[in-house]
A and B are shown apart, each in its own frame.
Chain A
């Protein structure tokens, strides 16, 4: 109980209070300690990365074993995983081989996934732009107006759409977003305070 709950709570409280004091006050001791705590955060995250790597190997080797070596995705993942680690560790991150993996495999595949967003915006808009009820109708009208106001052709078709779009984006949209942000920030602070004083059980892995 002490190692699982009490000690982590004490560490979280001391670290949390130290960082808070360093944020508000110019006291050299707290400033230096807070910097050290933030460095330790990165060190601990690196240890967690090791746990993540073990999990990847365990999940995908189980997949391969269950599929009797026929799970192509898991085989490809484990091979690229090992190759990238070997290249990074033995040849270094500045090597041509590592740059090749990053520039010609990692970046293009990432961009490919990102590009899906354009198509998904279309499919999501198609489904949601149906006047099923009052809210959906307001969304449909506002969406069409903003789309018209954002394209050059829209100003020709409906000149009113440009000032209407500006007003919707700068008044309604910004107002709503700021409301969400302020309420979210208050909730954020409350959860952080509960973690520092040990009330938020999930931060310590449960009861």
Chain B
């Protein structure tokens, strides 16, 4: 009945789902979960505040990816940025590369302005679909950064080879830059070119960080435990394999 080689994967997914459910339940029942400060998230208010002081817009992009987990994490940050922009009366320009992401992004912005009590502040032309072609998207974003002379550039989501081009364009206009992606090959580019970088899985803590609600915090605690179990498995597996025992490897490839 199982597809070959996916038995272990299936039980791992069941274990992860079960653990998340348990910790969400425990968090709801009052278990205390705290998150360490993430400088990139904490700097967002500074970035929007800077734009307010300079009278210039803030630019946000969730990257080149479609509707994948990294994009959703970016959009969770966008909710927070939009509310701050509404609060500080700062113009927020959002550029999007994929059409399906555009539809969700526009709704997120509209809803966030509404939640901030300023639905009239949302301008349809400030949520811009650029192009689903990678380099057309990159050149479109460069154009927006240069023409609008943004004070802050926030890039959180799924990025590929265009990451450094966008970050350097932001640096050219003197913008404070906050970036984050799960793409391990692009993180070094962001590290050298941006002021704050949200590293890989830190992005997925966005909803828990900003919302601080017990379900997200519980889910985050479960993720940490799963990471601990994964590290344990890697150490045990490496030791067993080093001493010629392939038992764990054989279980995992089933």
Chain B residues near A205 (CB-CB < 8 A): 104, 107-108, 110-111
Chain B residues near A89 (CB-CB < 8 A): none
B161 within 8 A of A: yes
Task: Verify B76–A202 contact, CB threshold 8 A.
Answer: yes
Please report the number of residue pairs spanning A and B whose Cβ atoms sit closer than 8 angstroms: 188
Count chain B residues whose beta carbon lies closer than 8 angstroms to a beta carbon of A: 78
Q: Distance in Å from the Cβ of A140 to the closest Cβ of chain B?
A: 11
Task: Verify A117–B16 contact, CB threshold 8 A.
Answer: no
A188 to B219, CA, bound (A): 12
Task: Verify B69–A188 contact, CB threshold 8 A.
Answer: yes
Task: Verify B187–A55 contact, CB threshold 8 A.
Answer: no
Chain A residues near B240 (CB-CB < 8 A): none
Task: Verify A51–B102 contact, CB threshold 8 A.
Answer: yes
Q: Quick one: which of A55, A73, A120, A202 contacts B129, CB cutoff 8 A?
A: A55
B133 within 8 A of A: yes
A180 to B185, CA, bound (A): 10
Chain A residues near B184 (CB-CB < 8 A): 176-177, 180-181, 184
A58 to B129, CA, bound (A): 10
Chain A residues near B222 (CB-CB < 8 A): 190
Task: Verify B204–A188 contact, CB threshold 8 A.
Answer: yes
Task: Verify A191–B102 contact, CB threshold 8 A.
Answer: no
B182 within 8 A of A: yes
A152 within 8 A of B: no
Task: Verify B219–A110 contact, CB threshold 8 A.
Answer: no
Q: Quick one: which of A55, A110, A123 contacts B135, CB cutoff 8 A?
A: A110
A25 within 8 A of B: yes
B215 within 8 A of A: yes
Q: For window 86-127 of chain A, which residues contact chain B by CB distance below 8 Å? A: 106, 109-111, 113-114, 116-117, 120-121, 123-125, 127
Task: Verify B72–A121 contact, CB threshold 8 A.
Answer: no
Chain B residues near A2 (CB-CB < 8 A): none
Task: Verify A206–B79 contact, CB threshold 8 A.
Answer: yes
- Say whether, besides A110-B134, A113-B139, A121-B164, A189 and B13 are in contact (CB < 8 Å): yes
Chain A interface mostly: helix
Q: Distance in Å from the Cβ of B7 to the closest Cβ of chain A?
A: 8
- Say whether, besides A23-B3, A25-B3, A202 and B10 are in contact (CB < 8 Å): no
Q: Type the 1/0 row for B127-152, where 1 means its CB is closer than 8 Å to any CB of A.
A: 11100111110110001000000000
A177 to B106, CA, bound (A): 33
Q: Quick one: which of B96, B136, B167, B187 contacts A180, CB cutoff 8 A?
A: B187
Q: Distance in Å from the Cβ of B177 to the closest Cβ of chain A?
A: 12
Q: For window 47-65 of chain A, which residues contact chain B by CB distance below 8 Å? A: 48-53, 55-56, 58-59, 62
- Say whether, besides A24-B10, A182-B230, A48 and B164 are in contact (CB < 8 Å): no
Task: Verify B135–A125 contact, CB threshold 8 A.
Answer: no
- Say whether, besides A124-B192, A180-B199, A58 and B204 are in contact (CB < 8 Å): no
Task: Verify B133–A110 contact, CB threshold 8 A.
Answer: yes
Task: Verify B203–A187 contact, CB threshold 8 A.
Answer: yes
B6 within 8 A of A: yes
Q: Quick one: which of B13, B133, B165 contacts A20, CB cutoff 8 A?
A: B13
Interface residues in chain A, defined as those with a beta carbon under 8 Å from any beta carbon in chain B: 20, 23-27, 44-45, 48-53, 55-56, 58-59, 62, 73, 106, 109-111, 113-114, 116-117, 120-121, 123-125, 127-128, 139, 176-177, 180-184, 186-195, 199-203, 205-207
The contact sample of 9 A-B pairs, CB cut-off 8 A, is A25-B1, A50-B99, A55-B128, A127-B171, A188-B182, A190-B16, A190-B204, A199-B219, A206-B115
The 4 closest A-B pairs by CB, nearest first: A206-B111, A205-B107, A187-B204, A52-B129
